[in-house]
Each structure stands twice: as C-alpha cells, then as structure tokens.
Amino acid sequence: MHVYLNGRVVPAKEASVSVYDHGFLYGDGIYETMRVYDGVVFKLDEHLRRLYRSASLIGLTVPCDADRLKIAIYETLIANAFRNAYVRMTVSRGRGAIGLDPDFCPEPTVVVMCQELKEYPAEYYKNGIRVIIAETKRNLREAIDPRIKSLNFLNNILAKIEAKKKEAHEAIMLNVNKKLAEGTISNIFFCKDGILFTPSVACGILDGITRGLVIELAKREGIQVKEGRFTKEDLYSGEEVFVTNTTMEVMPVSAVDSITYSVRQFARLLRKLYRREVDAYISNIKAEGPSLWGLEE
C-alpha cells in the first residue's frame, strides 16, 4: 500500500506524521472522501472545491493548487493500481509546538490515502438499512459549522456509538432546535405524497455532493423537492426514507427507530439515475483524452 505524504508517494509503512501535528493534537484540519469508478474520481472538482472551502473556513492555506492535488490523488491511485476505490485526502494544520495557536505550524500536512472499495452488501440496497434518531445533537452551526469537513469528528462519533448500541447502521442527528439535520456520514431524504423532502443547509448540515446531485436528478425527473426544516415526526410519517453519500450513493432505509418503511421506489429510481450519471461522467472524462494523469491503459 502506498500513500501520498507532503509531496511524495511513499510506502504506507514509511509514511508517518508527527505526534506534534495539530491534526493529531487538536483535530485541527480538514478532509474529503471521494469515490473512484473504473480509475476515475467522480466529481473530483466538486470535492476539491469543498476541500478548499473547508480550509478557508478554518483559516488554513492548502499549500498547493487543485491541479497539484489532482495529480497527488492519481499518483496515489496508480501506485496502488486501484480502479475502484475510496480516496481520502487530509490536510492538517501541520507540526507545531503544543498550544492552540495555528501560527505554531509553519507547514500543513497533506496526505492522500486510498483503499480498494468494498461495496455495501446488495441486500442493503434491496431491503434498506436501519437508522435511529440520535440523542446527540448536531454541532451548533454557529459554533462549528457542519459545512466544515473537519478532522474533529467527535460529534458524529458520539452519534455513531448510539447507533451501534442499537444495532443500527446510521444515526440521524437533530439540531438544537429539534429539526432534522443529517446522519453521521450521510444526508437524509424522505418522501411523502410524491414529494421529496430533505433538511436545508440552514438546518446545520454538510451540503453533501451526493445530496446536491440527487436533488438535481429528482428535479430533472419532474419530482418536486422541498428543502426545509422538518421534525422527526415528519420523517416518521414519510412513506419512504433514504440516505446519501459518496460511497453509499443512494441507500434505502428500512426503519427509523421503531417505524418501518417498505417502499423503496424513490431510492431505486434515484440510484438508477445516479449510476447513469456516474457512467456518463466517467465516459466523458475518458473521452477527454487517452491519458488522464496517466491512469488509462
């Protein structure tokens, strides 16, 4: 296994980050996760745009431009010979003296890791996954904006622990105003009377790239989409529920707490449209040239 660390692709066992790194000490940094289909990173520009946005929201200057980051990602994929993979890019504040001051860290740490993609079981897509409403509330937007994809994931981890205790796959967090926010690693949708509902960004969520595309695909299909403030009772009364993220794509939900859902019509349709979009994207990128960062045969 190889990883990219500060300008070089090196064997993973030789890649080490200092114990003084503020990412390790304080969770001071940001990251992105991406999915690679047949050697092509899906929506790479969108992910990098969000990475730079997260960095800017914490006053962190990424030490290279988007083109250099793209090369870093593809170099790492090539070194591992992965064609269907999961990529994680991390940028931390870097190594510095103990103490919160970001100025203690002259050089951010940039890491790209990837691993072969293990698809979720087909049974999950067929029958749906179980989710719970967590007691843990989503970080207050005014305190740590969930649009910052930060290395400090404790809020989500606490909700994940709740899900695990209840043998559920995902935990949906409410915000402090008791409105639906999002899952620990996903955005949530529900459907009622042919309308698709999802919490608005103003509820304090990460504006997922999958969420954005699913909204666009639904609208293109003539489905009415309402982004707004909803309660858990709204979710309970939905006819169908699904969650979205880069690796799960569109994942149906079979139960929220003790409420069960047997309808998977929207999830099935939107996952099909999503996959079609992925295929079109991959073919377009491949059509751009025989060699995209040298990854083509």
Q: Which residues are catalytic?
A: 149
| Run of H or E residues at 216 | helix 209-220
H or E element in which residue 196 lies: strand 195-199
Contact residues for ligand PMP, defined by CB under 6 A = 33, 156, 182, 185-187, 206, 208-211, 244-246
Q: How far is the CB of 66 from ligand PMP (least distance, A)?
A: 17
Residue whose CB is nearest to ligand PMP in the complex, by number: 208
Residue closer to ligand PMP (CB basis): 95 or 155 = 155
For the record, the structure tokens of 211 come out as: 């969420």
CB-count burial class (<10 Å; 0-12, 13-18, 19+) for 51 = buried
**Minimum CB separation from ligand PMP for residue 112, in Å?**
16
Q: How far apart are CA 149 and CA 196, in angstroms?
A: 26
CB 133 within 8 A of CB 172: yes
Looking at beta carbons only, is 92 or 210 nearer to ligand PMP? Answer: 210
Given the complex with ligand PMP, which of 175 and 244 has the nearer CB atom? 244
Query: DSSP H helical segments within 30-133, as ranges?
Result: 44-57, 66-80, 122-127
Nearer to ligand PMP by C-beta: 20 or 120? 120
* Three-state SS at 152: coil
